[in-house]
Structure 1
Amino acid sequence: MEGSPDVEHARMVAQHLNTEHHEISFTPEEGFQAIRDVIYTLETYDITTIRASVGMYLVAKYVKENTDTAILFSGEGADELCQGYIYFHKAPTPEEADKESRLRLEELYLYDNLRADRSVAAHGLEVRVPFLDKFFTSYYLSLSPEERQPREGIEKYLLRKSFSDRGILPDAVLWRPKEAFSDGVSSKKRPWFEHLQDMIKSKISDSMLSEAGEQFKGVVPATKEAYYYRQVFEELYPGRHSLIPRYWMPKWCDATDPSARVLLHYK
């Protein structure tokens, strides 16, 4: 989308490495129109999974229709393995951070890996996730909890440090603060999730939201955006609410939205 910081930083990398990149843009309206297809494809009503899947789904669609590429690479797993989420700064101890990291890895199939696999496979393509290579993950998890936690106010510190002084990435990219895929596709002034919430608020009334606990079993939506996703999900997959055990949400803070931009003030 216009003003995307991900595009800005991707241009830096392309210039630094002298490589040819392609930019694929979509409007908030085009993204919203894809929501139903995304929910159908992923079989989920998780908030952040749906937000992030829209961009990936549309990119894969473009690649299928406009190139002969069959295999894509994606960065899933790095935040879970290397403690890249903003909320890891709030972990009370290295051991608690380690426990949370391992739990996130175990549940990847419900959230980010589900997104990557389904969003790409829906268009007849394959996705590979190098950060989840079994030898790399085994080695990384063998390191002490203290080595793997955020340091110097920087999440995913050890992974970033391993690339420093190698000239592979510009420092502005290498040490860039965490930006979720679902946020980085849009401008900081007008995040993707705000576009979604504005387009959804007229579709779900206050009274509908207040009765969500009576309307839905299992994980109950607490916002109009979450209600809308659950509503569409139930139309497509009635009674299958147990496909996810909970919404993906950060730990060690009272945030009610999974956006990394919302979490920045917890750092």
Structure 2
Amino acid sequence: MNQIKKDEGRIEKWVLRRAFDDEEYPYLPKHILYRQKEQFSDGVGYSWIDGLKAHTARHVTDKMMSNASFIFPHNTPTTKEAYYYRMIFERFFPQNSARLTVPGGASVACSTAKAVEWDTAWKYNLDPSGRAALGVHLSAYDAETPLSNKPSKVIDGIPRMMAFPGVAIQS
């Protein structure tokens, strides 16, 4: 029986992927089953995320941000993007009971504040889209490097998490 060993640097969701890895009756081709999980911005495109950030910057002023804690005392938005989303939310759900259902705190790739506590490296990259999370998605900032040119490491036919220079994957 296989045991999970954190120090082996297995790809995310390894147990789930392994459960669907049937040699006789495969559910998915291996290159699909074991491909790297992508962040939100990778699915919609980085230019879309950049455009969204530019749009929110035009609609949320510095003065609005300086008064954010008075306007939104519960889970105060800390970025213009978050402030903009909060304005939309409050317009459709103005009740306090709705407001209290939304978790607050730092977020990376739409994770919770608890997830950020799990890996201290995440607290330095609080991008809700997850772009460039832990160095995995640095190609978002480098137009010359297509994702297909990224090196991958395969052990026993199973892709492992990639490590980039200067990035430590913590277990």
**Unaligned stretches of 5+ residues in structure 1:** 1-145
Aligned equivalent of 2:21: 164
Is the CA contact (8 Å cut-off) linking 2:20 and 2:27 kept in structure 1? Answer: yes
Aligned equivalent of 2:51: 195
Higher relative contact order (CA 8 A, sep 6+): 1
What amino acid is aligned across from residue 27 of structure 2 in structure 1? I
Change beyond 3 A, Cα 1:157–1:172: same
Alignment of 1:1-267 (within 5 A): 147=4, 151-164=8-21, 166=23, 167-180=26-39, 182-187=40-45, 190=46, 192-240=48-96, 241-247=99-105, 248-249=112-113, 250-251=115-116, 252=119, 253-254=122-123, 255-265=125-135, 267=169
Q: Distance in 2 between matches of 1:168 and 1:191?
A: 33
Larger helix proportion, structure 1 or 2?
1
Change beyond 3 A, Cα 1:158–1:237: closer
Is the CA contact (8 Å cut-off) linking 1:148 and 1:158 kept in structure 2? Answer: no
Deviations 1:45-83 (A, max 9, x none): xxxxxxxxxxxxxxxxxxxxxxxxxxxxxxxxxxxxxxx
Q: Distance in 1 between matches of 2:36 and 2:84?
A: 31
Q: Distance in 2 between matches of 1:150 and 1:204?
A: 44
What amino acid is aligned across from residue 225 of structure 1 in structure 2? E
Change beyond 3 A, Cα 1:191–1:173: farther
Is the CA contact (8 Å cut-off) linking 2:42 and 2:131 kept in structure 1? Answer: no
Q: Distance in 1 between matches of 2:6 and 2:48?
A: 29
Deviation at residue 259 of structure 1 after TM alignment: 2.6
Q: Distance in 1 between matches of 2:102 and 2:17?
A: 32
Q: Normalising by structure 1, report the TM-score.
A: 0.39
Identity level (%): 32
What amino acid is aligned across from residue 34 of structure 2 in structure 1? W
Is the CA contact (8 Å cut-off) linking 1:149 and 1:155 kept in structure 2? Answer: no
Q: Distance in 1 between matches of 2:5 and 2:16?
A: 9
What is the number of equivalent residue pairs in this alignment?
Answer: 119
Q: Normalising by structure 2, report the TM-score.
A: 0.57
Question: For 2:12, what is the secondary structure of its paired residue?
Answer: coil
